[in-house]
Amino acid sequence: MTAQPATRTWTNPLRDPLDKRLPRIAGPSSLVIFGVTGDLSRKKLMPAIYDLAHRGLLPPGFSLIGFARREWADQDFGQQVHDAVAEHARTPFRESVWNRLAEGIRFVQGSFDDDDAFDRLAETVHTLAEERGTGGNTAFYLSIPPWAFPTVTKQLARCGLASSDEDAWRRVVIEKPFGHDLDSARELNAVVNDVFPEESVFRIDHYLGKETVQNIMALRFANQMFEPLWNAHYVDHVQITMAEDIGLNGRAGYYEGIGAARDVIQNHLLQLLALTAMEEPVSFEPTALRAEKVKVLGAMTAVGPFDETTARGQYTGGWQGGTKVPGLLQEQGFSKDSTTETYAAVTLEVRNRRWGGVPFYVRTGKRLGRRVTEVAVVFKRAPHLPFDSTATEELGENALVIRVQPDEGVTMRFGSKVPGTTMEVRDVTMDFGYGHSFTESSPEAYERLILDVLLGEPSLFPGNEEVELSWRILDPVLDYWAREGTPEPYEPGSWGPPSARAMLARTGRHWRRP
């Protein structure tokens, strides 16, 4: 340990925990973003900060400090934030909100190995405490590649920003990839924990900030009717799908050599699976929730033989909708013989009493038929159907589908009598849609997560144990694929390579067509 930051959580005097009407407003604080010129900052972080300000959830003296190599003055950086907000914010642009936010915008110019720049950053943080009453409370958002983490965290420690003598809190926010396998994840955790104690580290998995993902817990633990069915006695299998229709244009720098499984399964999809399969936590306190996720991830394993239970693909050029699109090998920045997969599907099992023998199929891919994320719990068929065999020809399995996006809600599928003089049963669906049931729209995941960082509430951030366990689950599959070499080609606009269909067909099942 080179430094010991204060970890006390600021308690908002306006916030009576018993009064649910009061919003959660962050206390005096500032946010430093490293990597302000990147896509994530422009499209997600800056707009989310504005949206929080617009909703009145930031403190009056809130300050935003950008750190980058560009030769910018405060005003130039302010203009960048302004443009990003105007283009990407969720809530309408209001001059008065913007002007208040703009008063607290600062920029520090420098590179990560520039001691002077970090000293100037420290000075800026201290000045803002005096001028704007931030109390010195500061979150450092590392929206930068992991190779830069050691340099930046050491610089923060060197210039005295990683801890505070004045009782101010200091937190660090890191973005995936948290390593590329178990060993590198351990190294990365050690680097970060060398400077910031674990309780000050906030690892972003933005899926946990999505309303519909948190709704998995509401659905399971606020209701009585699902729990009796939520086990191997009634569930045949679970399918978790995260499909995207976009390609990887412009993302080679990040994606080449990483691929779909590391990009999405190791984090978002295993977190969805953990929330679906875990036991009820004793409370939603961070330690209680994490304990359940750690337990279920610890019981999870990728099932082999991997040539039959996994699938791995790469999109080719072709037509998607009415548009001609290039294959991955023709996308700029990817090598002509790249073996990076853009589609990945894996079979998992949770080895405990609740789930023993139930396969959990997870799949993700780019340039698929449409953008959709869902968790589908597919139930066993009734053991006996007292109808003529022709009456139930169009009856599938009952299913409960949690629609994460874009059409947020929950669907229940079951059999119903077709109107008429004969007994014929066919699948019907019953739907809950957020848009129909609630008037307020869902906040963006980054709004929720940035606010939670400022409030010091770590429930929605995976701890390092979860990250390491997720790598432990995936590493054997990644090793197998690395030995296999080339992924199987698939057409844009399709639902992945033929091996994906075969992997389920072998067990008499099929992927849902969302």
User: CB of 267: closest distance to ligand BG6 in angstroms?
Assistant: 7
Q: Which is nearer to ligand BG6, 163 or 373 (CB)?
A: 373
User: CB of 263: closest distance to ligand BG6 in angstroms?
Assistant: 5
Catalytic residue, chosen from 82, 180, 206, 268, is 268
Angstrom CA distances, 278 to 60, 223, 347, stand at 40, 16, 17
> Among candidates 179, 182, 206, 205, which has minimal Cα distance to 192?
179
First to last CA, the chain: 49
- The DSSP bridge partners found for residue 24 are none
Q: Which is nearer to ligand BG6, 259 or 317 (CB)?
A: 259
Q: Which is nearer to ligand BG6, 26 or 449 (CB)?
A: 449
User: CB of 373: closest distance to ligand BG6 in angstroms?
Assistant: 6
80: enclosing H helix or E strand: helix 74-88
| All residues at 6 or more sequence positions from 39 whose CB lies less than 8 Å from its CB, including other chains | none
> Among candidates 54, 59, 58, which has minimal Cα distance to 93?
54
DSSP per residue over 461-510, as a string? S--HHHHHHHHHHHHHHHHHHHHH-SPEEE-TTBSS-HHHHHHHHTTT--
Q: Which is nearer to ligand BG6, 137 or 373 (CB)?
A: 373
Q: Which residue is nearest to ligand BG6 (CB)?
A: 263
User: CB of 244: closest distance to ligand BG6 in angstroms?
Assistant: 6
Q: Which is nearer to ligand BG6, 309 or 373 (CB)?
A: 373
Q: Is 126 a catalytic residue?
A: no
Q: Which is nearer to ligand BG6, 121 or 345 (CB)?
A: 345
Rounded to whole angstroms, the Cα distance separating 43 from 52 reads 15
Rounded to whole angstroms, the Cα distance separating 312 from 320 reads 20
| All residues at 6 or more sequence positions from 229 whose CB lies less than 8 Å from its CB, including other chains | 235, 379
| Interface residues toward ligand BG6, by CB under 6 A | 244, 263-264, 373
> Among candidates 345, 269, 321, which has minimal Cα distance to 501?
345
User: CB of 239: closest distance to ligand BG6 in angstroms?
Assistant: 17
Residue 283 burial (C-beta neighbours within 10 Å; 0-12, 13-18, 19+) = exposed
User: CB of 406: closest distance to ligand BG6 in angstroms?
Assistant: 9
List active site positions: 268
